[in-house]
A = this chain, B = another copy of it.
């Protein structure tokens, strides 16, 4: 395989990754709705650790635990922001903002 073959493979992986990321985001939004409707605490600091540990435990490499943690820290920032803005969507007429400032956990 030459470089363009490997890049086509990467592009295919990325398309599948986009589908998984959106599947994950949809679940995070559903959790946000349930939390709001049942008055559950929305900030659960141990959950993010469990999420990263699950990914690390199920990784066969070559990515190391630190690599996965770095990727997932950003991924969880984005997911937290989505959940926060979706949870506030019913009481706000403006669209979702871009800041990664929410403190909600998935």
Chain A residues near B (Cβ < 8 Å) = 1-3, 6-7, 9-11, 13-31, 34-35, 40, 47, 51, 54-56, 58-64, 66-68, 70-71, 73-75, 77-78, 81-82, 96, 98, 100, 106
- Point out the residue from B10, B15, B60, B71 that lies within 8 Å of A58, measured CB to CB: B15
Residue contact B100 to A70, C-beta cutoff 8 Å: yes
**4 nearest A-B residue pairs (beta carbon):** A74-B74, A15-B58, A18-B59, A13-B24
Contact A30 B6 (CB under 8 A): yes
- Specify the main secondary structure of chain A where it touches its partner: helix
Minimal Cβ-Cβ distance residue in B for A8: B27
Whether the pair B40, A63 counts as a contact (CB closer than 8 A) is no
Whether A24 contacts B3 by the Cβ 8 Å rule is no
Residues on the B chain within 8 Å of A22, using CB = 59-63
